[in-house]
Every structure is written in C-alpha cells, then in structure tokens.
Amino acid sequence: MSEGSRASSLAFGQVVIGPPGSGKTTYCHAMSAFLRRLGRSVAVVNLDPANEALPHPCALDIAELITLPDVMASLGLGPNGGLLYCMEYLEANADWLRDRLQGLRGHYVLFDCPGQVELYTHHEALKNVFAQLAKWNFRLAAVHLVDSHYCTDPGKFISVLCTSLSTMLHVELPHVNVLSKMDLIEQYGKLAFNLDYYTEVLDLSYLVDHLASDPFFRKFRRLNEKLVEVIEDYSLVSFVPLNVQDKQSMQQVMQAVDKANGYSFGEQEHRSLEALMSAAVGADFHFSSTLAVQEKYVQSQDKAVEEEVMDL
C-alpha cells in the first residue's frame, strides 16, 4: 500500500471512558454536535451494552451484537460480571465490529464506552479491542472523564489520581484526562486550592498536609505520602476542565484531543498554519480556559459570601 493510500484510509476518533455517571454519553453527544458545526463528519458508536435507552441516535450500537440484560438472564451473572463477559464477547467477535465500522470510513468516530472501572485498570478485553482498532488504521485518543466534584474532597482526589494513572498505563493510548461537569462544581463545595492546582496536579504535598488536618486521615498520612510519590514520579496525570455548555471549554478539549491523536497535523480540514500553531501551543489555551473557569468559580463563591452577609 502506498503512503498516500494508507494516509487516506486513516480514521481518527476518541474512546470516551470513565466511571459511571461521569458524563460520557452526554460528552459524546455534545462533542459530536460541536465537531459537526466545524464541518467534520462525525459518527457515535455505542460500546456500552448496559446503555439500553440511548438519549441520542448513534451510527453503531453494540446492542446489535449483545446486551447486558440478555447475558445476565442467560448466564446468571450480575451486572459487573455480565459487563466483563460482554466485552470479552466483543473481543472474540472483532470481525463484527470491523465489518460495521467499514461503513463509517471517512467519519470522525466517538466510541462511547462502558463505565466499569475494572475495564480500564486491569481487565484486558477492551484494551485488546482498542489495539485491534489501531491495527485497522484508527488513530485514537482516550478521553478519560472524571466528575469534578472529586476536587472538593482531597481523599477522593488522590484516589482519582491513582485511578487515572492506572488507566493511562493500562489502556496504552494517547490520553486526555478531563474534569467534567465544571458548571456544577460550585454546588459541590469550596475547593481547598485554586482550580489550576487540580488541573495541573501541582505539588501534592499540600494535599497531604490538608488531609492530615482531618483526624481520620491523619493516621493514613504515610500511605497518602507514598501514593502521592507514585503519582508524582510518573508525572503523567493532568486534567482539562470541561463544561459541555461552554464553547470555549469544548474547543479546549477538542484541541487537546486533536493534538493527542494527531488529527491536528493531518489534512482532513486543510488547516492553516495558524490553526496548527494553536494546537501546538495548547498549553496556553489550557491556561486561559482554566483561568476562565476559576474566575467563574471564585465569582460564585464571592456571591455566596455576599448573600450570607446580607442575610445577617
């Protein structure tokens, strides 16, 4: 195959992963609509066999192959075991997926994946499916969604960092971690530090010190210190803030993903040099986007304080 024909057969996309309730399906719908407005042909593929009542139409649904209720009923498995079986069944029937994806060539593909954490930390089936997609000339980036409310609890945030790191090492794809539902963060409580502390994962010793102020966590200080050391030694985890209702936020995530899977440097949209440079200096956009979210968060906190003073 010539280099030109091989390049023309490339397909780009995202595998959208993350725990249950992190907003994966909502993200796929919002990102597909955003990309279509930019002129891309987008297809959403549902790989979640538990996602029966899809709120939005998709180009391909794993329900055509297997569903979680059928597996649970026929094999007597629970939801977790049934979902693992479904992914193993998908891996064993990769030809079905390849045949269905042939009709989506020329599209930018968003894969809406299941919400079971084990699939991305140590189970092999979905990882092997991603590897097959790479062999079929799909250039993918993993978009790992994490609910932003974990930022308000230092203990949970350290847990999220460990899970994100484990996922990055296991999935073996270009990776973008996303803090979802940023428009709701002020409802979760006050952050101990500025938002950029959490998105850039700065010096985590401050987080350990903050945890130590709680009598319950004080006795686990050495454990937390060791977990933090592992995270900082790899120096891989950072987050992009996301509010699906904000175009600038969506653009920031899109640019981070385009840089990760190489779409920015292709010819699909005949991008100008200026557009390429904007992707290459994505950190500047990341900073401005984080700053904008931080300003909204601070303003909401200040307003809440003013209302409390007025009530007094």
What is the β-pairing status of strands 138-147 and 108-112?
A: unpaired
Cα gap 294→174, rounded to integer Å: 27
Is residue 172 one of the residues assigned to a domain?
yes
Token code pair at residue 95: 């030809």
Assess if residue 189 is contained within a domain.
yes
CATH of the domain at 150: 3.40.50.300
Q: Say what the pLDDT of residue 181 is.
A: 86
pLDDT at position 172: 92
Is 109 contained in some domain? yes
Residue 128 lies in a domain: yes
- In a domain? residue 258: yes
In whole angstroms, what is the distance from residue 263 CA to residue 137 CA?
Answer: 13
| Residues 50 and 79: beta-carbon distance below 8 Å | yes
Alpha-carbon span 223 to 240, nearest angstrom = 27
Q: Which helix (H) or strand (E) holds 156?
A: helix 154-171
214 found inside a domain = no
Q: 116 lies in which domain range?
A: 11-201+237-266
Q: Whole-angstrom Cα distance, residue 80 to residue 87? A: 11
Identify the pLDDT of residue 151. Answer: 86
Under 8 Å CB-to-CB from 205, ≥6 apart: which residues? 225, 228
Pick from 214, 235, 281, 242: nearest CA to 145: 242
Which residues, in sequence order, are bridge partners of residue 140? 13
Tokens of 124: 């092999």
For residue 144, give the 3-state DSSP assignment. Answer: strand
> Domain for residue 20, yes or no?
yes
Does any domain span residue 112? yes
Residue-level pLDDT, tens digit, the chain, 312 residues: 444 444 448 899 999 999 988 899 999 999 999 999 999 999 999 999 988 777 788 999 999 999 999 999 999 999 999 999 999 999 999 999 999 999 998 999 999 999 999 999 999 999 999 999 999 999 999 999 999 888 888 888 999 999 999 999 999 999 999 999 888 776 777 787 788 888 888 888 888 888 888 787 888 889 989 999 999 999 889 999 998 888 999 999 999 999 999 998 765 554 444 554 455 444 444 444 455 555 555 555 556 555 554 555
Dihedral pair phi/psi, residue 44, rounded to 5°:
-105, 130
List the beta bridge partners of residue 61: 46
How many CB atoms lie under 10 A from the CB of residue 119?
A: 22
pLDDT of residue 311: 59
The domain total for the chain is 1
| Confidence (pLDDT) at 182 | 83
In the chain, what is the straight-line distance between the N-terminal and C-terminal CA atoms, in Å?
Answer: 75
For residue 106, with 0-12 CB atoms within 10 Å meaning exposed, 13-18 middle and 19 or more buried, which class applies? exposed
How does strand 42-46 pair with strand 60-61? parallel
